[in-house]
Amino acid sequence: MIAYYAIGDDNAEAVPEPSNAGWIELTAPTEDEIRQISAQCTISVRTLHAVLDSQEDPRTAGLDPNDDIPGLIVLR
């Protein structure tokens, strides 16, 4: 499942379109959803598959507020 959220000053609000999203939540994504997010966010399919591994540690990558490149946050 893919959910998109716009981030406000003190909340996150669900939005229907990825163009307005500041946060994308993936929960048990299908292969099609993985490919879709990979294309939208320029995150490799390999990276997205890696974070689905049950042994993956929580981590962050690419969180630079001074660029427009999507970052990655892995939570368990």
- State the greatest distance between any 2 C-alpha atoms of the chain, in Å, as a whole number: 34
- 21 C-beta neighbours (distance < 10 Å), count: 20
User: What DSSP assignment string belongs to 7-28?
Assistant: E-SS-EEEES-GGG-SEEEESS
pLDDT in the model for residue 76? 62
For 2-16, write each residue's pLDDT tens digit. Answer: 999 988 888 888 888
Domain containing residue 34:
2-74
Place of tokens 């997205």: 48
For 16-32, write each residue's pLDDT tens digit. Answer: 888 777 888 888 889 99
Work out how many domains the chain is built from and give that number: 1
Global pTM value: 0.71
